[in-house]
Chain A
């Protein structure tokens, strides 16, 4: 814990025991955290997008076929079983040190994890609307788009936003293996036993998760209200 002192709390960077002294590298940490948040956002977007496409064939109730359905399910399993950090190591090896490796690693894992949740939410919807669209001559894809998607969109969005929070945490850790973001800095201060810096960075990450939680709540309500 940092040695904060009440009398010096709002003092300058030079004053020992002040907040500014504790967060003396706020500018570079802030930037790294921003990079981390961007990695998480992009990875969530890519992963949830892929999950959305794969969830329909993976859902058991939409009759995707005896080959496609198990194939989609196995693929999703494979994507989420391998830990992000392992994917990150592979991608760092393939694409070099940097944010790209981290984004891809998190996106792959997100696709697997979200895909399963998406597919289960699809399996929980009634098939009345599905019959309605199919009986009108709608194709399989059209039925997915018009009969299923509007019904499951709110829960899919909830899952994706929860995943965004989780991914911010993942993106912080994944930097340990050189995949970009604040992780490298965190790894460094942990390695050097700079306890005050560790607590400062952890606090910043927690604050960022708070911010995402508040933002996502607003976004969710706006989207659910607007989706009609």
Chain B
């Protein structure tokens, strides 16, 4: 696979790999559960995601959306249930196999989780870490030097989202919207099959939120990657997603097309009107933006 061809191989990879697009489904959750002490954050969730779908997961604060995504990436260990991918049990993976699974399902976080003191290019190249082997891995670890092909790949990804000129700036000098797009570039450099976006726009203003959601849709449609995105704006979910999954108290309470999630449906699920739901999300966003936006080292 030629790295010099920029990001196109990503799409080819996702489409060609029979193991992923095969009949067994690319991502399947079976009774996935996570408990924190007495509380059950995620309660026996069953979900199947075919390749290439853009799924919006909605729910109020504490509904278990973040825990669900973090479990799929195995950042959080499930208390019960299984995660299957192409018939393979992901929950049992360890060591290198686990790192390769994480590489295959790239994660985008609400707080971007970039390395603030590193330049943007290196932040994007972090997506290549799991691809390093043998002495190259040692070189990268000691010297922090990636190959010219990988650097070109990172630049191409940045250029795609209009960030090429920021490549040598420190990440901390970028705005939130730019940082989130850098995080998405990092995700793409992993050449994943699946993108898990955990509240990617919750810390952004409306304009930047739209830019990031457009970028996610572009990744979904042009590269053919499946996208699972946590949102707490129903409007955003309806506008961008093929399918909406609603969670309440750790359980999936709705799973269907955006059209099926009518105002009455929202009311019956959450007991509040759609306006109240949006206002609650807005209030939470304001509360989250109020404290110092990012930990600057």
Contact = CB atoms under 8 A, between A and B. Distances in A.
A67 to B, nearest CB: 17
Contact of B118 (A134, A142, A150): A150
A146 B118 CA distance: 8
A126 B183 CA distance: 17
B75 A137 contact: no
Contact of A136 (B112, B117, B141, B190): B190
A61 interface: no
Q: Is the interface of A mostly helix, strand, loop or mixed?
A: helix
B286 to A, nearest CB: 21
Interface stretch (B2-10, B36-44, B102-110): B102-110
A193 interface: no
A141 B115 CA distance: 15
Interface residues of A, number: 25
B127 to A, nearest CB: 5
Interface in B110-142: 111-119, 122, 126-127, 129-130, 137, 140-141
Interface residues of B, number: 37
Contact of B106 (A125, A136, A146, A147): A136
A191 interface: no
A136 B115 contact: no
A217 interface: no
5 contacts: A126-B295, A133-B115, A135-B109, A137-B190, A146-B122
Interface of B: 73, 75, 99-104, 106-107, 109, 111-119, 122, 126-127, 129-130, 137, 140-141, 144, 168, 170, 183, 186-187, 190, 295, 297
Interface of A: 125-126, 128-129, 131-139, 141-142, 145-147, 150-154, 227-228
Given A136-B126, A147-B115, A227-B117, 12 more contacts: A128-B113, A132-B107, A132-B113, A132-B183, A135-B75, A136-B102, A136-B186, A137-B100, A145-B141, A146-B118, A151-B115, A228-B119
